[in-house]
């Protein structure tokens, strides 16, 4: 069951029209909602799906381009979710992580080619910055569903130990990517 404080604060996000006026505001409002209710979340919840990382991202620095999130329908979508009697704080965390990732990770428009996703209903490749263990950085395409990632020249990345970051507006020009933001 979702804690009443989380439910109340989450609904308040959608009562303020400024929160849904642009993606940066919506991202910030969701982050503030989570931070206000962080005492109800476990450490595992904060580390799964990179939630603790997402809470520290400045959306104004990210390359926000055509997210799958439709701001005009978010209030209705959340109200429908909250009508589910079995909606839990785990579901809340999953919703927030998915939404924050959708906002800050530009969609490439390509389906994930991995075996996990190829059976239909799989993931989409999104642009991210990857820092290799050596410190070298590059732009990659990362699946939003499974762990598959590939370089921009379509080579699968199997290296472990690297770090993935949201792509920034600066990265777009540095790597000469043609993603309008």
Q: For 80-139, how does the pLDDT look when each residue is reduced to its tens digit (9 = 90+)?
A: 998 887 889 999 998 999 899 889 888 888 888 888 887 666 788 888 888 888 888 888
The answer to whether residue 111 sits within a structural domain is: yes
In this structure, are 127 and 81 located in the same domain?
A: no
Asked whether the predicted pLDDT for residue 181 surpasses 60, the reply is no
The answer to whether residue 179 sits within a structural domain is: no
In this structure, are 86 and 131 located in the same domain?
A: no
Asked whether the predicted pLDDT for residue 23 surpasses 70, the reply is yes
In this structure, are 143 and 77 located in the same domain?
A: no
The answer to whether residue 78 sits within a structural domain is: yes
Residue after which a domain boundary falls, among 60, 81, 104: 104
In this structure, are 11 and 99 located in the same domain?
A: yes
124, 160 in Cβ contact below 8 A?
Answer: no
Q: pTM to 2 decimals? A: 0.83
Residue after which a domain boundary falls, among 81, 104, 127: 104
165, 156 in Cβ contact below 8 A?
Answer: no
The Cα 145–Cα 116 span in angstroms is 9
The answer to whether residue 19 sits within a structural domain is: yes
In this structure, are 111 and 100 located in the same domain?
A: no
Of 23-32, 59-68, 106-115, 158-167, which one has max mean pLDDT?
23-32
The answer to whether residue 142 sits within a structural domain is: yes
Domain that holds residue 80: 4-104
Residue after which a domain boundary falls, among 104, 123, 150: 104
Percent with pLDDT over 90 in the chain: 36
The answer to whether residue 180 sits within a structural domain is: no
Mean per-residue pLDDT for 133-156?
Answer: 85
- As for how many domains the chain has, the answer is 2
Tokens of 118: 């190829």
pLDDT level of residue 20 (50, 70, 90 thresholds) = very high
């Amino acid at each position: 069951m979702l804690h009443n404080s989380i439910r109340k604060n989450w609904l308040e996000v959608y009562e303020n029209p400024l929160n849904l006026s642009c993606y940066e505001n919506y991202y910030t409002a969701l982050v503030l909602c989570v931070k206000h209710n962080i005492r109800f979340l476990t450490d595992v919840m904060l580390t799964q799906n990179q939630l603790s990382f997402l809470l520290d991202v400045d959306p104004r620095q990210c390359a926000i381009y055509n997210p799958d999130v439709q701001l005009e329908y978010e209030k209705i979508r959340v109200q429908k979710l909250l009508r589910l009697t079995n909606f839990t704080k785990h579901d809340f965390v999953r919703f927030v992580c998915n939404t924050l990732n959708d906002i800050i990770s530009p969609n490439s428009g390509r389906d994930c080619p991995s075996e996990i996703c190829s059976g239909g209903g799989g993931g989409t490749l999104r642009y991210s910055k990857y820092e290799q263990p050596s410190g070298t950085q590059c732009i990659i395409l990362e699946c939003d569903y499974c762990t598959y990632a590939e370089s921009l020249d379509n080579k699968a990345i199997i290296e472990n130990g690297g770090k993935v970051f949201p792509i920034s507006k600066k990265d777009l020009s540095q790597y000469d990517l043609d993603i309008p933001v």
